[in-house]
Amino acid sequence: MALADRAAALLDDYGSTFEAARAQIDQGWALLDAGEPSEALPVFEAALALVEHEQAWAVSGHLGLAVALAGSGNLKRARRLLAAADRLTAEVPQAAERLRLRWRGAQMARRCGLTGSALRRLRRVVSALLAEGQDRDAATALLELLALCLQRQRQQAVGMPTIHAAIDGLLESSQLHRRARAVIALVRYVLADPVKRCAAEVVAAASRYFLDSRYRPELPFRPTRTHPLVHLAWDEIDPSVRARICVEVGAENEIGHCTGKDLDCTLRDYIAWRFEVVRRVRLEFPASDRGEAPGT
């Protein structure tokens, strides 16, 4: 009865059964985000029959219902719904929309706890986004893939050729801001020793950076949130110690004899970020007066 009342209210608000169903699907996702899968279940089930001829919304409904079922303990049916969403996605005529839905399907497989399926899906999405020239979205999907690998301790998956090819491509991307490319370079660095270099924390920070910096590429990047974190001013460190720091992070030791203002932004980031993930020490540099353009 409550569901029927809700459907009637939606119909009054939105004017057609299809528009009401779309509103229900949005409501279902809101319930999932609020951690209420059992309440989302009947909302998605009621909406699905009304959007079956609108493929993109049907896919969204199937994915939402799959997550709700997985959250309620019915993993077997959740798998079937993910497969149904895949079939519907393949029928979507617009290539860009298909790719977006496949990415959403990968994210939902992860939310359902289907690690192997999510890894395979994300790997294909990363390759497809790069092939389409959508480098920023490819970086975001790649970081999702890496986060899942590290969370599930899939160390072999971190070494997949797909991942390394994607990183190499992004490092050469003209679409990405200088700092975004530097963040990807740091991700490659920490993956060489994920435990010692706190790769999971760095990948999470990189994901936040790509989200926050889409329209503000000059935003600063902080590779860790470790507390307490020691802070040291570069210019107050003895030059011989700075030289050893440079060698430790893979830079030339002569750089240690330069003051902070003598170093360009890219080199500062390179040294400071690497030292922070290795030693849990944040190096601080004086404000730059070079006025570098943000896209270089």
Check residue 161 and give its pLDDT: 87
Indicate whether 10 pLDDT > 50.
no
- For the chain, domains (ranges, CATH) are 1-113 (1.25.40), 114-225 (no CATH), 230-284 (no CATH)
Task: Specify the higher pLDDT residue, 155 or 230.
Answer: 230
Residue pLDDT, tens place only, 211-262: 999 999 889 999 998 776 899 999 999 999 999 999 999 999 999 999 999 9
For residues 164 and 125, the answer to whether their CB atoms sit within 8 Å is: no
DSSP string for 49-96: TTSTTSHHHHHHHHHHHHHHHHHTT-HHHHHHHHHHHHHHHHT-S-HH
153 three-class SS: coil
Residue 283 bridge partners (DSSP): 232
pLDDT of residue 287: 78
The reported pLDDT for the residue numbered 183 is 97
Query: Which helix (H) or strand (E) covers residue 43, if one does?
Result: helix 37-48
Predicted local confidence at residue 288, as pLDDT = 64
Segment 73-107, tens digit of pLDDT: 898 999 999 999 999 999 988 999 999 999 999 99
**Confidence (pLDDT) at 291:** 45
Q: How high is the pLDDT of residue 22? A: 84
Question: Alpha helices, DSSP H only, in 228-284?
Answer: 239-248, 265-279
More confident residue, 212 or 5: 212
Task: Note the pLDDT of residue 9.
Answer: 54
- Give the Cβ contact number of residue 286 at 10 Å: 13
Answer for the pair 61, 25: CB distance below 8 angstroms, yes or no: yes
pLDDT at 293: 40
Would you give the end-to-end CA distance of the chain in angstroms? 61
Tokens standing for 12?
């009054």
Helices 17-33 and 55-71 pack at an angle, to 10 degrees, of 30
Dist CA 284 CA 272 (whole Å): 8
**CB burial string 223-257: b at 16+ within 10 A, e below:** bbeeeeeeebebeeeeeeebbebbeebebeeebbe
The model's confidence at residue 294, banded by pLDDT at 50, 70 and 90, is: very low
